[in-house]
Chain A
C-alpha cells in the first residue's frame, strides 16, 4: 500500500503546481531517450549476465565461484562513482590517454551521451541478471538436458530449447531490474550528459526550484515504468507454471569446456570484471594512495567506518522488511496468477523506477502529516529503501517460489502437517535461495542509495554514500575513494554469505 505513497505525492504535487507541466517539447525527447537507454541497458545486461551465469554455474571453468563473487560486486559501486572512475581511466584525459600520449595518441573518444551512459549502466546493472539467472540455473532439472544431449542435440541447441525456457522468467526479471534502474539513475546520466526523464526531473528541481515540474516528470516516468513492467508480464505470458517449476532431482554435471572455449570464456569474464570492477577499483585505489602520508587518510577511514555501520544497519533492516513483504506478493503471483496479483506486483515496481529524490519527498510529505514520530529517524530511511527496492526482493522471492513443486506441499499436508509447518519446513527452505538472492539485491542496492537517504536521514547520520556526496560536492573526486572502497569491501561479505555460501552448502548436502 505504501508503495503508492510516492505516486500519490506526485499527483498532488504535479497538479498543485503552477508550471505548464506537460511540456511536450522537453518531455518528449527525454522520454524517448529514457526508453532507449533502459531498453539497451536491459539488453546489454542480459547479453553479459546470462553467459556469465551459465559459465560460472554450469561449467567446470576454473575459479568459477570467485568469478561469480567478482561478477556480482559491481552492484555495490554507486553508478556515479563508477562512471567517474571509468572516466578517470578511459576518458579523454584519463590515465589511458596519458599512457598513450608518448605513442602519439592525443585524444581518446569522449565517453558521453546516450551511448556512453548505456555502456556504463550496462556494466553496473548486469549483476542483477547474473545473480537472478545463476540462482535459477541451479534449480534447473538436469535430467531434461541430459535427455536432450542423449538424443544427439548439441550443447547450444540444448541450452536454447531446454535450459533457456526454464530460466526465462529469472532472466526477464533481471532485465526488468536493469531497465528500471537505468530509468531512475541520476549519477551516470548527469555526469555523461544524457538528458533522460530523471535528469530532467533533477534539472527542474535543482536549477528551477520547481518541485511541481519535477513531479510532473516523475509522473511521466511512472507511466513509462508501468509500460515496461507490462511488457515484462506480457513476455512471460507463454511460460506456464509447470515449465518454470522444477526442483532439481540431482546435481547437474558441469559441462567441460574445451581448451579454446575455456580461453574464450575466461577472456569474456576477465574483460567484464576488468571493466566493471578492477578498473574502477584501481582508479579509486590510485586516488586513495594519493592521500597516503596525508593525515587525511586515517581520518577518512575513521569517519567512514561508523558511516558504514549505519549503512549496514539500515540496509540490513530494509532487506528484512522487503523480504517479509515480498513473500506474500511472490506467493500470490506464483500460485494465484491473475489480474490482481499482477497489479499488486506492477505497482510495487513504480517506486523502483522513480528518482530517489521523488520517493524521498513523497515520504516527507506523508511522514510530516501522518507519522511525525517517524520523521527524520532511521526507520523512515528503511521505509524509503523498502518503497524503492521492494521489487528486487519480489523478483528473488518469485523465482524461488516458482521453483517449489506444490506436490511436495500436498504430500506434506497429506502426512498431516499443519499449513504453517508446511510453509516453514517445506516451502520456505525450497524457495530460500531465491529469497536470499532477493534480500541480497535489496541490501546491496540500499547500501549505496543516496538521494532518499540524504533527505530522510536523522541529523548527523552518515552513510558511505552521503560521505561520497559530501566530498564530491566540494570538487575533490579523489577523496570519495576511501568511503567508496570501504563500501565495496564491506559489501563483498554479504555477497559471499548470502549468495555463494548457501548455494555451495546446498550443493554439498544434495549432491
Chain B
C-alpha cells in the first residue's frame, strides 16, 4: 500500500503536466479533420512543408466533429473543418464563412453548397462490388433497382444499412425516383441482403465468398487490393444517371470566426489545387479529384470518368434533408437487425 501512494501521486502529476501542455497553440491553424489520419496526414505534412503554415489537427469521426462544432458554437477553437462527407459538413453550414469565389469556381457547382460555405474536395461513387471468380460482369444490372426485384438471381447482396454512405444513397434514390419506388426497392433488397456495419466488411465478405455482390463506395476495392492484390473483387458501375451511382464528396469549410484568416483560405485553396494531385496520384484511397482543371492528375484517368452523367442529378443537400424518413424506410424494410 505504502508504495502505491507515491506511484499514484506521480501519475497525477504526470497527467497534470499533460494537461498543461495540451492547450492548443494560437499560432497554428486548427483543423478539425473528419478524414482519417492514414489518408490525409501525408497531405497535411506536404501543406506545411510547401507553405510554412503549421497545423494543429484534431482527428475524429466527421459526425462527432460536427456535433462537437455544434456544442462549441462561436467558442470553437477550430479554423477549418474538413469532413469525410457532405452530410457532416452540411449540418454545421450555418457556422461557416463564405468561401472565396475563385476557389468555388474550381469545383463543379453540383459538388458544393449553393451558398458557397463549403466545397467538395474529392468524390466517391456508389458501385456494386462483386466476386470476379463467381460472377461475370454481363450478369450484373445497369439499374440498381434490379437488386430489389424478385428476379434477382445472384444470391445475397452485402449491405451496410446503418452506414452513412448507404443512408445517403437511399436519400438520393428517394429524390431521384420517389418514395414509393424506393420503399419497394428496399423491401425487395431486404429479402436477399446480408447486412454489415461498414463497407470494408462487405468487400472482405465478397473476397471470401460469403456474399457474391455488395453495395459500397468505389474506393474500398482499391483498399482491399492494396492489402491483398489477388482478392477476386471488382467494381461494377451502374449506367450513367442511375440512382445507384450516387456521388458523395469529402468537403471543406472555414469556420465563421476564421473567415478572414489567410492561412485558412490558403489551406482550402491548397486542398482544391495541389491537394488534388495528392488525392489523384498518392492517396491510399482512390477517390476522384473534383478539380479537373488541375494539371498532373495521372491515376484518376484509370477510373471511369466522373462527369455529370455519373450519378443521379440530385443536390448534395439530400444528405442533410429528411434523414429520419430515410432511416425509417430502411428500418421498415427490415434491413436493420
Contact = CB atoms under 8 A, between A and B. Distances in A.
Contacts of A461: 18, 22
Contacts of A475: 198, 200, 203-204, 220, 223-224
A206 B77 contact: no
A209 B337 contact: no
Contacts of A207: 63, 162-164, 167, 323, 327
Nearest to B24: A459
Contacts of B58: 376, 459
Contacts of A213: 324
Q: In the complex, which of the residues B57, B60, B75, B320 has the most CB atoms of chain A within 10 Å of its own CB atom?
A: B60
A22 interface: no
B36 interface: yes
Contact of B324 (A19, A211, A376, A473): A19
Interface in B127-153: none
Interface string B286-324: 000000000000000000000000000000000010011
B57 A459 contact: yes
B46 interface: no
A203 B164 CA distance: 9
B323 A26 contact: no
Interface string A350-369: 00000001000100110010
B197 A368 contact: no
Interface residues of B, number: 66
B115 interface: no
A314 interface: yes
Nearest to B76: A368
A contact face: mostly helix, strand, loop, or mixed: helix
Contacts of B1: 429, 432, 436, 502
Contacts of A498: 4
A82 interface: no
Interface in B162-220: 162-164, 167, 195, 197-198, 200, 203-205, 208, 210, 220
Nearest to A476: B227
B87 A113 contact: no
A474 B67 contact: no
B38 A470 contact: yes
A370 to B, nearest CB: 11
A470 B37 contact: yes
B14 interface: yes
A51 interface: no
A191 B195 CA distance: 10
A376 B8 contact: no
Contacts of A455: 60, 64, 68
B24 A376 contact: yes
A319 B324 contact: no
A209 B24 contact: no
Contacts of B157: none
A72 B36 CA distance: 33
B91 interface: yes
Interface in B89-107: 90-91
B249 to A, nearest CB: 16
Nearest to A435: B1
Given A209-B323, A320-B8, A313 B63 contact: no
Contacts of B247: none
Interface stretch (A136-144, A377-385, A402-410): A377-385
Contacts of A211: 67, 70
A191 to B, nearest CB: 6
Q: In the complex, which of the residues A193, A312, A436 has the most CB atoms of chain B within 10 Å of its own CB atom?
A: A193
A473 B4 contact: no
Interface residues of A, number: 59
A310 interface: yes
A190 interface: yes
A113 B320 CA distance: 30
B22 A436 contact: no
A483 interface: no
A311 to B, nearest CB: 11
A276 B224 CA distance: 29
Q: In the complex, which of the residues B59, B198, B203 has the most CB atoms of chain A within 10 Å of its own CB atom?
A: B59
Given A193-B197, A209-B88, A379-B15, A458 B24 contact: yes
Given A93-B210, A474-B39, A475-B223, A26 B331 contact: yes
B109 interface: no
A195 B337 contact: yes
A378 B63 contact: no
A92 interface: yes
Contact of A377 (B23, B36, B61, B204): B23
Interface string A208-226: 1111010000000000000
Given A317-B15, A376-B22, A191 B197 contact: yes
Nearest to A213: B324
Nearest to A98: B208
B212 to A, nearest CB: 14
B83 to A, nearest CB: 11
Q: In the complex, which of the residues A113, A208, A365 has the most CB atoms of chain B within 10 Å of its own CB atom?
A: A208
Contacts of A458: 18, 22-24
A376 B324 CA distance: 32
Q: In the complex, which of the residues A191, A312, A474 has the most CB atoms of chain B within 10 Å of its own CB atom?
A: A474
Contacts of B87: 209
B8 A319 contact: yes
Interface string B234-256: 00000000000000000000000
B48 interface: no
B8 A316 contact: yes
A312 B198 CA distance: 31
Interface string B46-74: 00000000001111110110111011110
B195 A193 contact: yes
A377 B164 CA distance: 30
The 9 A-B residue pairs with the shortest CB-CB distance in the complex, in nearest-first order: A316-B11, A458-B22, A475-B200, A317-B15, A379-B19, A378-B18, A193-B337, A377-B22, A209-B91
Interface of B: 1, 4, 8-9, 11-12, 14-16, 18-20, 22-24, 30, 36-39, 56-61, 63-64, 66-68, 70-73, 75, 77, 87-88, 90-91, 162-164, 167, 195, 197-198, 200, 203-205, 208, 210, 220, 223-224, 227, 284, 320, 323-324, 327, 331, 336-337
5 contacts: A203-B336, A207-B162, A209-B91, A317-B11, A320-B8
